[in-house]
């Protein structure tokens, strides 16, 4: 059995983004997007109704960071300091398997930012953490999220029927994944 290791949240820079830890003063930016019902519609969480909801999220993120369990990164455009989204990598160490999840503010959909952030997190997962497999899931109707998974080279493994119970109902989830060898082959071909 492989040993569990602490999971840091290092700063990662991409062409357009800085992925960094969340700070308390990010609350208003997070609330602006997380209170949008369209952003929350196909996630497991409900829209934030007040800054208190956002502060609970920040408390959870700080706990994940303090416990080294894989805190989410804030997505920040390199030319500003405003939060536009989040991305997280969780790891099951005995299996060297990770799962990535993300959300992005609606005004920024369709600009390739979630794809850019996901590529950076996959590079961290495979190159730094030496994971074997990284997965991502989305509801079948979430074509934007599914497209991100496809663009980063993930393959559809199948549909997990009634996989999550969220917002009062069971939901199916499409499961996508990429293996380290596939990632490296794509990288050699300049993805």
Tens digits of residue pLDDT in 76-91? 999 998 999 999 999 9
Q: Regarding the domain with residue range 12-188, which homologous superfamily does it belong to in the CATH classification?
A: Gcn5-related N-acetyltransferase (GNAT) (3.40.630.30)
Give domain limits for the chain: 12-188
What kind and span of H or E run contains 147? Answer: helix 143-151
The CA–CA distances, whole Å, from 13 to 2, 21, 117, 121 equal 30, 12, 9, 10
Cα(86)–Cα(79) distance, rounded to whole angstroms? 17
| 113-123 and 143-151 helices, crossing angle to 10° | 50
How confident is the model over 125-173, as pLDDT tens digits? Answer: 999 999 999 999 999 999 999 999 999 999 999 999 999 998 889 999 9
Give pTM, 2 decimals. 0.93
């Amino acid at each position: 059995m492989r040993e569990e290791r602490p999971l840091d949240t290092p700063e990662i820079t991409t062409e357009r983004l800085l992925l960094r830890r969340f700070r308390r003063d990010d609350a208003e930016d997070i609330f602006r997007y997380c209170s949008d019902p369209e952003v929350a519609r196909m996630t497991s969480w409900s829209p934030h109704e007040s800054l208190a909801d956002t502060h609970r999220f920040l408390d959870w993120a700080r706990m994940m960071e303090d416990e080294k369990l894989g805190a989410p990164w804030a997505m920040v455009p390199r030319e500003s300091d405003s939060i536009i989204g989040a991305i997280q990598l969780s790891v099951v160490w005995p299996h060297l398997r990770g799962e990535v999840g993300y959300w992005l503010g609606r005004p920024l959909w369709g600009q390739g930012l979630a794809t850019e952030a996901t590529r950076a997190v996959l590079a961290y997962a495979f190159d730094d953490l030496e994971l074997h497999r990284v997965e991502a899931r989305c509801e079948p109707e979430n074509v934007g999220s599914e497209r991100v998974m496809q663009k980063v080279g993930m393959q559809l493994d199948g549909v997990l029927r009634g996989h999550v119970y969220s917002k009062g109902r069971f939901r199916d989830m499409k499961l996508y994944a990429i293996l380290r060898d596939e990632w490296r082959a794509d990288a050699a071909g300049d993805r």
